[in-house]
Amino acid sequence: MLIKKAADIPSSEITPQSAYLNRRTFMRGAAAMGILGLGGDGISKLVAPRRTVAADSKLTTIPSPLSDKGATVTPFQDVTSYNNFYEFGVDKTDPMHNAGRMKTRPWTVTVDGLVKAKKTAGIDDLLKYRPLEERIYRHRCVEAWSMVIPWVGYSLSEFINWAEPLPSAKYIQFLTLEDTKTMPGLYQINLNWPYSEGLRMDEAMHPLTLLTFGMYGQVLPNQDGAPVRVVIPWKYGFKSAKSIVHVRFTAKQPHTAWNDEAPEEYGFYSNVNPDVDRTPWSQKTERRIGLPFWKATQPSQMFNGYGDQVAQLYAGMDLKKHF
Amino acid sequence: MLDGTAAAEAVTNSNPQTFAVEAPVMGPGRRPGGLRLTPQRLLSLLKVVVFLVCLLPLGLLVLHGFQNNLGPDPIVTITHGTGFATLRLLVITLAITPVRHLWARLSWLIRFRRMLGLFAFFYGCLHLLTYVWLFSGFHLSTMIADITKRRFIMVGFTAWILMFPLALTSTKWSIKKLGGKRWRALHRLIYISAICGVIHYWWIVKPGVRTPMKITVVLAVLLAARPAWALLQARRSAARASERA
């Protein structure tokens, strides 16, 4: 099912969480019983629920001219069951299984560093601060898979203007929640927790950079970075920090989690670049999630196809050196 | 003893059927066992079962493929499915000799080693096909660049190519032609192939991710078992020799 607009998802379609999580197990069982007449898609449409939505999690959005027009949006169940959120485990399905423990209320975002005055913002105030837009963005992971996701939020520049950084602030840093009580992954992989990411101020102020509160017309599921994250569509996905609790403005480039772990592979900029692969695998192609295996592989684009809008940020920079 | 000994010795004795399984005794005028489950028949039945079990990973991938149930990233599901099948079958194949050393009653396991080894090669071929077709789109120049530039592909390709001569010489005819000693020497390449396979796994996971640890430990134990056993045997015969003296 292709979800193109929030209106495509009727709120009457509420399914039990357990059925949603076990839909693939169900399908295997169904196949074992010999239900071969219907195609797999037919079975899933008939018996397996597509997603679970709580009635009060809908978000009202306005469309945005910055959305990708004509791209096929990735199925919601794929975007919520195929996640890299290592705080909840390193397998792709771990966040779906484990992130439910994370409490997203109450939630405050602390703003400090090179600002006029230290501030805190409650999540519900942030949600009301500016009209929420639906931004359909391409999302490209460094692992060479990609999705098309209808995010919900407003430009980070609005938040930055509210935060009032000093002129000396050249960078912005994001810190993710680090909660040993609800995040088993913190003990499974020894990344430099809490997860830290950062942007140059001009990258952060770019209209495309999205302070994100939702997707598919509803609040972010926990495994996708609830209740607030940032999305930078022309960079590899790990730059789009999830579940942000702390925003800091700095004069020097902040450390970032994957650069700490493997500086030869993960650079600060990490712009999508098919011609530069520091990872063991090639970045020339990507696998579009949700497509069958004979159709999934597609060529990757410089800046994930957002070059028209962002290339000028890097004019004169050697992108092989500043990867 | 070292791998292939049973087969090599059997060939030298010119009677490839005399592994450690009893043949039913047939007296004059007797029908061959009737409907009894003789050891020979049990073995044949077990071989069929093992064959089918070895086909399960492929069967599941094909079934899920038709159901459109290969997950959000089907190419990765196929890659992982075929890769893990290859590695695990290699490890199982390598486990047979240490098990036979520990428990002589399980000597008949040798009769499954060729099938398991060939299935490991089979899944290795499927894994390679996934790379050639789904990742490289059959572009030869891309693949050549990959093998020279990307170390995980180089070591993976090495692991596969080392299995190739082993698959070709898996028949009894080959053992006869090469002779037991040369055949055994050639088939020691499986150690290097398995090591290359595990390194391939380490070099593809993200830094900090330790998922290859389990199979690394298992393989290390199985490889260490061989010199450990040889050492033990050497000590025993030295002890026996000194007793006689």
**Given pLDDT bands bounded at 50, 70 and 90, which one contains residue A47?**
very low
CA distance B192 to chain A (A): 22
CATH second-level architecture of A58-314? Alpha-Beta Complex (3.90)
Interface residue of A28, A282, A288 to substitute, partner B, most B CBs within 10 Å: A282
Q: Is B43 exposed, middle or buried (0-12, 13-18, 19+ CB in 10 A)?
A: middle
Q: Average pLDDT in the A28-40 region?
A: 43
Question: pTM of the entire structure?
Answer: 0.82
Chain B contact for A27 (CB, 8 A cutoff): yes
Residue whose pair of structure tokens reads 């399914």 in the numeric block: A15
Question: A23 pLDDT exceeds 80?
Answer: no
List the domain boundaries for chain A: 58-314
Q: How many angstroms separate the CA atoms of A61 and A135, rounded?
A: 9
Dihedrals phi, psi of A295, to nearest 5 degrees: -115, -10
> Is the Cβ of A24 closer than 8 Å to some Cβ of chain B?
yes
| Planar angle of CA A144, A176, A168, nearest 5 degrees | 100
CA gap B155, B148 in Å, rounded:
10
| Predicted complex ipTM | 0.80
Q: Which of B107, B81, B76, B102 is nearest to B229 (CA)?
A: B102
> By the CB < 8 Å criterion, does A45 face chain B?
no
A233-264 residue pLDDT tens: 999 999 999 999 999 999 999 999 999 999 99
- Percent of chain B at pLDDT exceeding 70: 86
Compute the distance between CA of residue B210 and CA of residue B232 in angstroms, rounded to an integer: 33
Q: How far is A128 from chain B (nearest CA, A)?
A: 34
Phi and psi torsions of A171, nearest 5°: -140, 160
**What does pLDDT average to over chain B?**
88
Query: At residue B10, does pLDDT exceed 50?
Result: no
- Residue A125, class by beta-carbon neighbours within 10 Å (0-12 exposed, 13-18 middle, 19+ buried)? exposed
Determine the Cα–Cα distance for residues B111 and B186; give it in Å rounded to an integer.
19
Domain ranges of chain B: 5-15+39-234
- Which residue in chain A is spatially nearest to B145 when comparing CA positions? A282
